[in-house]
Amino acid sequence: MRIQRRAPTAVPTPPLSVQQAQAPASIARAGRVSLEIPDTVRQQYFGRGQRRYRLPRFSNLRDISQSKTLGIDQAELKELVKTALIRLKKENRLKSKDSLDSLLDAIFPAPGSIDQSAFEAAVDTSDRTVIYMSVLDTNARIKDKDRPKLRSAMKWAIRIIRQAQASKTMLTRIFGGKQADAASNYKKAGDRLQAFVDSTATLDSSVNTDYNRDDAALYLGGWADFDDQVIHLEPDVAKVTDSKESVATLVHEAAHLADGAIEDHGYYPPSTGKDAFAGMAESRKLNNAAHYEEFVRRWLNTGAYSNDTEFTPGKAVSGAALTLEDDVRLATTEYFRHGWDAAVEVQFALVKHRKDLLASKETKFKTDLAQLKKISKVMGLSLHRQTAGNETVTQLDIVLAESIARVVSDTGTHSASVKLALTPRDKSEIKKASDRLIDDAIQSYGALLGDSKKDRTLTDWLVANYGKAFY
Ligand SMILES: [Zn+2]
């Protein structure tokens, strides 16, 4: 993707070679949640340098502004809206060419007043990529018209999986000594998909998608929950807009459903870097869903490696040993991947709480409120600013959280292009060198909270909370 940054030391960003990913939930999460960013999403949202931030609907802002109980004054609201507008402006998604300050002054013309026509002049309010419409569309059953095509993609995925089970040579190239275990996992994954093909009731209860475009806003291709045997697909994957990509994603997700040990240790195309992905330890790649895509992509000719490439632990594709720089960059991209993951979890939690509150269910929200206020403070949301006793989750909180997930992810991608000064030559220094690279990436990318120190505090907090459920 292309990075827009303001720091004078900026360098053009090369095509994405690093990062993104997502992880499995660990103990604290109810079931493992694994998030994916499929190649189509990557192309669509990273390839052309598009980044999408959103605003609440006008009615939601008006409700906040006019609320007698919420306690967010106009200056605070203006500041929060400004944050969203800055991020929208960075990607040229404002309708108006006016300066941010004049837009804000027009939207908030006087104390206690908010102007709809000025808001509509600033942004295209009918566009779901700009305006957050409704939490109620975020997790939806696959529409009837999309189901047949999705089922065809599943059948195709199953056929390739059955080939994989019988292809000892190819599986050995990919999984080495663990090829038999991999074949067994493929079998279970194929069986899971077969159940979705065989029963509409199972498909409807176990596979869902998102018609509110949250996935795109979060860079999210999908997730899988082993405990519940549920998968969520980004709408383009569910609609099969690119059949080969849908097939690869389905195999990836089904791998998560095959065995609870299969998590994410890097995405496809290699978010860890091509060499680190090829050089991953056998026990780790056996439990990395993206490695199950490799056979499929070789079969479909959509892979990053040639068909005869052998993955050898500790070695690059060329056969050379992985370098210290590979390790430092991997540690760095994993850091941002974990931070992105946690930010996505926060957004998920806020969406769930908002749905509850719209349905007048307050118990869970009240139980979690203290934690939510802490999160709000570190992420710069509105909850902690609200009057005690009258708090609610606004659309503003949701869009700010999703934009943080995006920026954290973008910063990780950006880190691949940040020069790495490696003075230490010894492996014990990986963490220190990675720490410096993280700081450099945050500082040169900017755009998170507008202050590098605060940004690092936020990303550290997110990474420390990686794998936790916030709902
Ligand atoms: Zn995954």
**Among 282, 306, 321, where does a domain finish?**
321
CA of 253 to the centre of ligand 1 (A): 6
Is the model's pLDDT at 228 over the cut of 90?
no
CA of 243 to the centre of ligand 1 (A): 18
Same domain assignment for residues 306 and 337: no
Same domain assignment for residues 302 and 378: no
Same domain assignment for residues 433 and 284: no
Same domain assignment for residues 352 and 316: no
Tens digit of pLDDT for each residue in 2-41? Answer: 111 112 222 222 222 222 233 222 223 333 344 444 444 4
CA of 424 to the centre of ligand 1 (A): 33
CA of 21 to the centre of ligand 1 (A): 8
Same domain assignment for residues 150 and 282: yes
CATH classification of the domain holding 285? 3.40.390.10
Range of the domain at 419: 323-471
CA of 119 to the centre of ligand 1 (A): 39
CA of 15 to the centre of ligand 1 (A): 22
Same domain assignment for residues 234 and 177: yes
CA of 34 to the centre of ligand 1 (A): 5
Same domain assignment for residues 313 and 167: yes
Same domain assignment for residues 311 and 347: no
**Among 291, 321, 351, where does a domain finish?**
321
**Domain membership flag for residue 64:** no
**Domain membership flag for residue 316:** yes
**Among 261, 290, 321, where does a domain finish?**
321
Same domain assignment for residues 188 and 248: yes
Is the model's pLDDT at 106 over the cut of 50?
yes
Same domain assignment for residues 213 and 341: no
CA of 251 to the centre of ligand 1 (A): 10
**Domain membership flag for residue 427:** yes
CA of 122 to the centre of ligand 1 (A): 38
Same domain assignment for residues 289 and 141: yes
Reading the block at residue 296, the tokens are 């499929």
Tens digit of pLDDT for each residue in 166-211? Answer: 999 999 999 999 999 999 999 999 999 999 999 999 999 999 988 7
β-strand pairing of 222-225 with 33-36: antiparallel
> Structural domain tally of the chain?
2
- The residue with tokens 């102007």 is 115
- This prediction has a pTM of 0.78
